[in-house]
Amino acid sequence: MKTFKESFVQATAQWKLLNRGTEEERRQADAFYKDHILPEVMMHFREKYAHSESCENLILTLGTSYEPLVLSILALRPERVLIMHSTRTRPLLDDVIELTGLKPSRYISRMVNSENPLKLYQVVKEVYEEWDRPGKIYVDFTSGTKSMTAGCAMAGSVINAKFVYIASHYLADLRKPEPGSETLSYIENPYEVFGDIERDRAVTLFNGMDYASAAEIFDELRRKVPGLHEFEALGLLSKAYDNWDSLNLAGAYDYMSKCCEILSLLSLTGSATLLAPHKSRLEQQLRLIGKLKDIHEGQGHRQKDGIFHDISIVMANIYCNAMRKEKQHKYEMSSLLLYRLLEMVAQKRLWNLKIDTEDAEYAETGFEPQALLDRVNALRTRVKGFHPIEKLDKQISLIAGFILLAALEDDIIRTKKPDAVIGRIESLKNKVDLRNKSIFAHGFTFIDADKYSQFKAAVDEYVDRFFHLEELDRDEAFGPMNFITLSAD
């Protein structure tokens, strides 16, 4: 194979030094490249691959650089060519035809949406049928946008095409390859090159909290891209979060365990992965899921004792789940979870006073039953919608629980001025009523953002007060429960 002429080396050096500060100067530099450098590159490329296997059918995408298409056509010598381009890149089609000498009978051009891989996929399938489903077909995805190349790779896989691309040493500042560095490369699996395209899509879904869809893509990449445990770990994490978000703690623990095992193996090899910066957080979350699983698998009174002993992580789990629903504008679901938090606040404060809200006994409250009943009724008669009761409740509802706590002068509801406690109970009841009228509670309406915000503010007030009174660190409890966000880089 002949080497490049001295004149070509000199022309390349001259081309690199050309000014490109203005649009006109860039056009002049491109014209110099086309007239003095590209012809030599083409001749060299044609001779280099003169004895390589030719192809009958070639499919290409045309991006902002026409040169890769020219070189691919010269090297593969196809009988028929499909060139897909966007509105923006259509003018470059003339350069491809001029430099390759393709006759009109040998090529088809199609306009596609550069950001719609599905449209490109459909065009490939249509032309494939038009060509009577040839057995020998090549796809070159060197040029074009990421979406175009992704669509090309998908379509090529379906029609069992061979994949090629023009590799080179790219000069980013000049927006051209190093003249003479171009080579024709074959790959068996396009996902080895374009796995990052699907990975980006999966990352977007993951960060959008669509963990089930993200898991499907990561699993597909794991099957198609050999030797990359990262995709397996990402798929397992997506499934762990999907199960955790659905409060399936056993499933979440199983998937998170496997994810952390793979991360440990990857860390030993020094592999740089999307999950590497989050390894310690995920291991911490694994421990938390395990603890939550053990707590909720308990039975009866002993189970409640365990729950209330570790109430901070139980509440953190529910609250962070509610905040994920809020980010997705699922206010009904979020308010349902926040309501449960209010119940937990009342239940734990009453548990401290030896009262189980599911099977209440009042012997250890420090009050005689009748005296306590009188205190409760004195409050109930002043709260709208409540009436005196003949005996203390055996099962205690949310607002009734806070009325009982007020009667017992618990700090969660107590006010500096005794009469002000009615206002506090009424305010809480009004906020709870906003939620109770929603379709997920007792009503037929959907809670809007404004009503949701009012209800959430009330919950936050009592949760903050609860953590202060129980001498618990809210940030320490809630922080580790937040699901990670993957870097888009």
Task: Report the pLDDT value the prediction gives residue 222, as an integer from 0 to 100.
Answer: 83
45-50 average pLDDT score: 86
pLDDT at 244 over 80: yes
pLDDT above 70 covers a percentage of the chain that reads: 91
Pair of tokens at residue 484:
């990670």
Name which of 4-18, 231-245, 251-265, 326-340 the model is least confident about: 4-18
pLDDT at 104 over 50: yes
- As beta bridge partners, residue 57 has 80, 137
- Euclidean distance between CA atoms 233 and 218, whole angstroms: 9
| pLDDT tier for residue 250 given thresholds of 50, 70 and 90 | very high
- DSSP summary character for residue 139: E
Task: Report the pLDDT value the prediction gives residue 178, as an integer from 0 to 100.
Answer: 86
H helix or E strand, kind and range, residue 81: strand 80-85
Task: Report the pLDDT value the prediction gives residue 170, as an integer from 0 to 100.
Answer: 77
63-77 average pLDDT score: 90
pTM of this prediction?
A: 0.63
Instruction: Report the length, in residues, of the chain.
Output: 489
Pair of tokens at residue 39:
């012809």
- Euclidean distance between CA atoms 473 and 251, whole angstroms: 28
H helix or E strand, kind and range, residue 164: strand 162-167
137-156 average pLDDT score: 77
In the block, which residue shows the tokens 């189980």? 356
Determine the 3-state secondary structure of 146 from DSSP: helix
Task: Report the pLDDT value the prediction gives residue 159, as an integer from 0 to 100.
Answer: 81
Query: Measured on CA atoms in the order 63, 64, 67, 68, is the torsion positive or negative?
Result: negative
Task: Report the pLDDT value the prediction gives residue 225, as an integer from 0 to 100.
Answer: 64
Task: Report the pLDDT value the prediction gives residue 438, as an integer from 0 to 100.
Answer: 57
Name which of 138-142, 236-240, 291-295 the model is least confident about: 138-142
Task: Report the pLDDT value the prediction gives residue 1, as an integer from 0 to 100.
Answer: 43
pLDDT at 124 over 90: no
Domains of the chain: 6-188 (3.40.50.10770), 204-295 (no CATH), 318-481 (no CATH)
| pLDDT tier for residue 297 given thresholds of 50, 70 and 90 | confident
pLDDT at 221 over 90: no
Per-chain mean pLDDT for the chain: 87
200-206 average pLDDT score: 88
pLDDT tens by residue, 397-447: 999 999 999 999 999 999 888 788 999 999 999 888 877 665 555 555 677
- How far are the Cα atoms of 338, 401, 462 from residue 457, in angstroms, in the given order? 10, 19, 9
Task: Report the pLDDT value the prediction gives residue 342, as an integer from 0 to 100.
Answer: 96
Task: Report the pLDDT value the prediction gives residue 489, as an integer from 0 to 100.
Answer: 62
- Euclidean distance between CA atoms 65 and 470, whole angstroms: 66
- Euclidean distance between CA atoms 230 and 211, whole angstroms: 16
